[in-house]
Amino acid sequence: MSEVKRFEKLLAVDKSALLIIDIQERIIPVINQHETVIENTIKLIKGFKVLGVPIFYTEQYPKGLGPTVQTIKEELGDDEAIQKLSFSCSGAGELFDMFKQKNLSQIVVCGIESHVCVQQTVLDLLANGFQVNLAADAVSSRRVKDYEIALARMRTHGTEVTTTESILFELLNVCATPEFKQISKIVK
């Protein structure tokens, strides 16, 4: 019997990381569907913790945009934000090098704004050989049109555009495990 192949871009726990981009106090109120972005980001954080997958998060010019939203910060715990002035996270210190050193090739991205920091980061990740899985229900912009065009552009250049729940179940791979039960409760 021949071996059944799996799609090579399916997420794997040992190759993945979550990157949360700039979900900060002073900009979040003007973001379209911001409650959904926060809710799904928290689901991703909880799920990634259950699975032991690394989580990184950035803050764009915190002096002007404030710190990360409190409910997200509480879920992240003691981890420190990677602060940046560049729109792309490629300018956030040694972040991309850290991914490479830890053999993390599949980066799950969420955050704001879709058409600025998220899009520039995603395109730079792709240019540096990373697979990007974008949680479309955990990213947004102030304007719907900017969000829609950004997602289309990122998809055109090879981004895997998906959802929070898809990402978590893809990382799980199988059911009937303690992790499955925990993830199932998180996504409800």
Tell me, what's the pLDDT at 103? 96
Compute the distance between CA of residue 81 and CA of residue 185 in angstroms, rounded to an integer: 27
The tens place of each residue's pLDDT in the chain, 188 residues long, gives 778 888 889 999 999 999 999 999 999 999 999 999 999 999 999 999 999 999 999 999 888 888 999 999 999 998 889 999 999 999 887 999 999 999 999 999 999 999 999 999 999 999 999 999 999 999 999 999 999 999 999 999 999 999 999 999 999 988 888 999 999 999 98
Strands 131-140 and 82-84: unpaired
Question: Annotated catalytic, 146?
Answer: no
pLDDT digits (tens, 9 = 90+) for 107-140: 999 999 999 999 999 999 999 999 999 999 999 9
- Cβ distance 84 to 120 under 8 Å? no
Name residues whose C-beta falls within 8 Å of residue 181's C-beta, 6 or more positions apart in sequence: none
- Cβ distance 90 to 118 under 8 Å? no
pLDDT digits (tens, 9 = 90+) for 82-92: 999 999 999 88
Compute the distance between CA of residue 34 and CA of residue 112 in angstroms, rounded to an integer: 9
**Secondary structure (3-state) at 12:** coil
Compute the distance between CA of residue 104 and CA of residue 15 in angstroms, rounded to an integer: 4
84, 89, 110, 137: which one is catalytic? 84
Give the global pTM: 0.96
Tokens read off for 23? 């979900």
43, 89, 117, 124: which one is catalytic? 117
Strand partners, 24: 68
Tell me, what's the pLDDT at 138? 98
Question: Annotated catalytic, 117?
Answer: yes
What domains, with CATH codes, occur in the chain?
13-187 (3.40.50.850)
Question: Annotated catalytic, 63?
Answer: no
